[in-house]
Amino acid sequence: MNEGLNKIIEQLNVEQKQAVCADLKNLLIVAGAGTGKTTVLVSRIAYLVEHHHIPPYAILSVTFTNKAASEMKVRLEKILGAERIRYMWSCTFHSACLRILRNFFMQAGLKKDFVVIDTSDQLRIVKRALAELGLSDQKQVKPKEYLNAISSCKEAGLRPQQIDSQVKLYRFAEVYSLYQSSCDQDGQVDFSEILLRCVELLRAHEEVRAYLHDKFKQILVDEFQDTNSIQYEWLRLVCGKDTNVLIVGDDDQSIYGWRGAVVENMHRFKNDYRQVELIQLKRNYRSTDAILETANSLIKHNTGRLVDKHLITNRATENKVLVVGARNEFAQAEFIAKMILKLKASGLKANDIAILYRTNAQTRVLETALRNDDLSYVIYGGLRFYDREEIKNALCYLQLIVDPNNNLAFERILNVPARKIGKATLGKLQAVAMETGLPLYEALRQTLLHSSSKPLRAFFDLIEKLKQDLVEAESLPSFVEHVLETSGLLSMYKLADENEGTEGKSKSRISNLEELLLEFERQSSEELPNFFASESEMNEANGDVEATNKDQISVSTQLSNFLDKICLTSGAESATGEDGTEAVRLMTVHCAKGLEFKVVIVAGFEETLMPLRPESITPKELDEERRLAYVAITRAKDQLVLCYAENRGSFSAGGYINERTGVSSFLRELDHNYYDRKMYRN
């Protein structure tokens, strides 16, 4: 067996080794916080290849984030080599579904070159649907609410005709119907549609199911407690009778019920799959004993746990958890800032410290206190890279070049940079498109037969030239750089700096465009063609895979693949702020899941925030709130501080009021032997 794999297995604890070296069967791995589940998953895949002789292309590994999928791939490459795992599917639910849809687009009722759209594009379609129904001028109608409801319905597997009275939005079914008709007509698929459309494809087409059943012999799914109903159904449809499934999850860390996650899926797995072996990972390698026992004492109060697990650690310490009260949220923020100053003075780096909170509204006071003490900070979950104006503009140029029928991209860049093409001109083009049933770009082509508009002609000629340049392009990065220069985007931002006499926002935008070029450089030559390679590029007859020469993959195909990946990334993940900046990390507890820090400070460990709205909470919701607190606690490696305000300001109909809050009721559930409590007097 592989020497590198042998060394890894030798270092595993008993439970980890049991999971990695298990026979070919269905496995349920209950992996507590910090118990090394990624190591187990990677080692299990390598063991399947080396010991059980499962071909890598017959293995499907599913994660929830692109980051996790990439990390697994990198670690597997170190053990097995890049070439051996070239055709293994290590991906998210949505990227796996997208790959299936690309290969079976006809059966799925999609156009061959369908486009994946992001949130901002979705919002524009919703607004258009509301306008068509005469609802856009009504104050109570909020497009984002309709968009969120559409996404929720799709994640629940519901089409417009299946909407029930639970959705309270005015004429929602009509808006949803118009929205979906627009997407279908323009060959567009949103993030939630990817999974739903794939499930519908698998339900309806036995030959597609048979192909996947024959292909995948081993399926591994990470973070199973976060799966929703349609993801669970998708897994059932992809699994054949001879497929073995391994799921890894922790029901104690299920905190996404509000967005459709069904923690009961872990219980269902035991009943729906044959001869499931349950293995617990209980040894925590992250936290000290004080932190871990605090977490254990809290979570044991939850009902309906899959197993009664009690995490253990060898990291003994005399430092107890610190519970600190302050008279209000301002004093609490002041204490946190002063504590961080002391920690830094002791030699701790700022990026080893995280401040966690329940809601984003808490950041205002915290930011003020940090700035007052000249402390640098980064807020996780800010504006995502691919959502920034300059990046969106660049991507829309690329999208329109690849697919001239992309109406959303056309509308965005028609007058960017400014070409003296106003809203009235765009309106005329939209009218022509509606009359003729043509995409906007083709409507422009028809208009130019009867128009002498120089700005419109210049835009059309630009896109036509870039389309031809793409065919002749030698490399993807050089082509993207060519587009940025030829389109005038780079010049636009450089000129803005010169006119303003500053090096502010525009300089930052130029830097972001340069970073985009670097991203194309990093990923264009290897990862994208391999991951999104169509099945026609592989010969899996007789169990053999014919290697694909990456040089034979056209620049156009590489660009299409990259645009797909970007849309998947922007749809699934928020910005993380992981840029190496020496700064304190600020984030919600939901954002912190999967992360760890030497010092964790929880702001707002109060009865109005954790648990949220305790006066109206159901027992099931209280369990999830407790799990949220558990996740917050288990992010800490060396030191944990739980802060609360005795009073907190809020706004009501009568204006600003000061409300009594006090420490969270969860404090009563914590083992008092492992924490010290004090008040901050400023």
At 118 the pLDDT is 84
Spatial separation of the C-alpha atoms in residues 499 and 316, rounded to whole Å? 61
Identify the CA nearest to 381 among candidates 568, 598, 585, 633: 585
pLDDT at residue 550 is higher than 50: no
Identify the CA nearest to 486 among candidates 549, 397, 551, 579: 397
pLDDT at residue 517 is higher than 70: yes
pLDDT at residue 39 is higher than 60: yes
At 654 the pLDDT is 52
Q: How far is CA 466 from CA 398, 479, 521, in A?
A: 9, 9, 19
Interior/surface letters 38-71, b for 16+ CB within 10 angstroms, e for the rest = bbbbbbbbbbbbbeeebbbbbbbbbbbbbbbbee
At 339 the pLDDT is 97
Q: What is the mean pLDDT of residues 183-200?
A: 94
- Using an 8 Å Cβ cutoff, are 517 and 385 in contact? no
575 or 572: which carries more pLDDT confidence? Answer: 572
Mean pLDDT check: name the lowest of 44-58, 185-199, 420-434, 574-588: 574-588
Q: What is the mean pLDDT of residues 234-258?
A: 94
**Alpha-carbon dihedral 356, 361, 365, 368, rounded to 10 degrees:** 90
Please report, as a single letter, which amino acid is at residue 204: A
Residue 116 token pair: 């994946």
Angle CA(303)–CA(308)–CA(310) in degrees, nearest 5? 120
* E-only strand ranges, 377-440: 377-379
At 655 the pLDDT is 53
Residue 273 token pair: 């799959």
Spatial separation of the C-alpha atoms in residues 189 and 107, rounded to whole Å? 15
Identify the CA nearest to 82 among candidates 53, 48, 56: 56
Spatial separation of the C-alpha atoms in residues 13 and 260, rounded to whole Å? 34
Residue 424 token pair: 């009235």
List the catalytic residues.
Answer: 37-38, 222-223, 253, 635
Q: How far apart are the first and last CA of the chain?
A: 63
Q: What is the pLDDT of residues 615-638, one digit of tens each?
A: 788 999 999 999 999 999 999 999
Mean pLDDT check: name the lowest of 54-63, 300-309, 511-520: 511-520
Q: What is the pLDDT of residues 277-311, one digit of tens each?
A: 999 999 999 999 999 999 999 999 999 899 988 99
Residue 533 token pair: 């390679």
Spatial separation of the C-alpha atoms in residues 310 and 320, rounded to whole Å? 19
Q: For the chain, give me the number of helices (H) and strands (E)? A: 27, 16
Residue 135 token pair: 């609802």
Backbone angle region of 69, left / alpha / beta, with phi > 0 → left and psi within -120 to 50 → alpha? alpha
At 404 the pLDDT is 92
DSSP secondary structure string for all residues of 454-519: HHHHHHHHHHHHHHHHHHH-S-HHHHHHHHHHHHTHHHHHHHHHHHHT--SHHHHHHHHHHHHHHH
Q: What is the pLDDT of residues 366-409, one digit of tens each?
A: 999 999 999 999 988 655 677 788 989 999 999 999 999 899 89
* pLDDT grade for 1, boundaries at 50, 70 and 90: low
Average pLDDT of every residue of the chain: 88
Q: Is it true that the peptide bond before 417 is cis, omega within 30 degrees of 0?
A: yes
Using DSSP's 3-state secondary structure scheme, residue 29 falls into: strand
Identify the CA nearest to 185 among candidates 460, 444, 557, 434: 434
* pLDDT grade for 464, boundaries at 50, 70 and 90: very high
Query: 98 forms bridges with which residues in the sheet?
Result: none
* pLDDT grade for 537, boundaries at 50, 70 and 90: very low
At 543 the pLDDT is 38
Using DSSP's 3-state secondary structure scheme, residue 251 falls into: helix
Spatial separation of the C-alpha atoms in residues 249 and 221, rounded to whole Å? 9
